[in-house]
Amino acid sequence: MDLFVNEKPITTEEGLTLFDIRARIKGDADIIILNGFPCRENHPLQNGDRIVLIKRGEVPTFEELEALMTSRHTPGVHQRVKKARVGIAGVGGLGSSVAMALARTGVGKLVMADFDLVEPSNLNRQQYFADQIGLPKVAALRDNLERINPHIEVVIHHLRLAADNIPIVFEEVDVLIEAFDDADAKAMLIETFMRSFPEVPVVAASGVAGYGPSNTIVTRRTMGNLYLIGDGSTEAKPGQGLMAPRVGIAAHHQANAVLRLILGERPE
Rounded Cα distance between 106 and 77, Å, is 10
Rounded Cα distance between 234 and 89, Å, is 21
Half-sphere exposure of 166 (CA within 13 A, CB side): 22
Domain with CATH 3.40.50.720 in the chain: 79-262
pLDDT of 79: 82
pLDDT at 30 over 90: no
pLDDT in tens, 48-63: 998 988 888 877 777 7
pLDDT of 75: 63
Q: Angle at CA 247, nearest 5°, toward 167 and 268?
A: 70
pLDDT in tens, 62-79: 777 777 776 667 667 888
Rounded Cα distance between 20 and 33, Å, is 14
The answer regarding whether domain 2-72 maps to CATH 3.40.50.2300 reads no
pLDDT in tens, 162-180: 999 999 999 999 999 999 9
Half-sphere exposure of 189 (CA within 13 A, CB side): 27
pLDDT of 188: 97
pLDDT of 150: 84
User: Among 62-76, 81-95, 217-231, which is the least confidently predicted range?
Assistant: 62-76
CATH architecture of 79-262: 3-Layer(aba) Sandwich (3.40)
Please tell me which residue, 6 or 113, carries the higher pLDDT value: 113
pLDDT of 195: 96
Give the contacts of 72 (CB within 8 A, at least 6 positions apart): 33, 36
pLDDT of 35: 87
- Name which of 212, 219, 210 is nearest 250 in CA terms: 219
pLDDT at 44 over 90: yes
pLDDT in tens, 176-186: 999 998 889 99
Mean pLDDT of the chain, nearest integer: 90
pLDDT at 187 over 70: yes
pTM, two decimals, is 0.80
Q: Give the pLDDT band of residue 221 (cuts 50, 70, 90).
A: very high
Asked whether 95 and 114 are in contact (CB, 8 A), the reply is yes
Domain with CATH 3.10.20.30 in the chain: 2-72
pLDDT at 113 over 70: yes
Share of the chain above pLDDT 90, in %: 65
pLDDT in tens, 189-209: 999 999 999 999 999 998 887
pLDDT of 237: 65
Cα end-to-end span (Å), the chain? 41
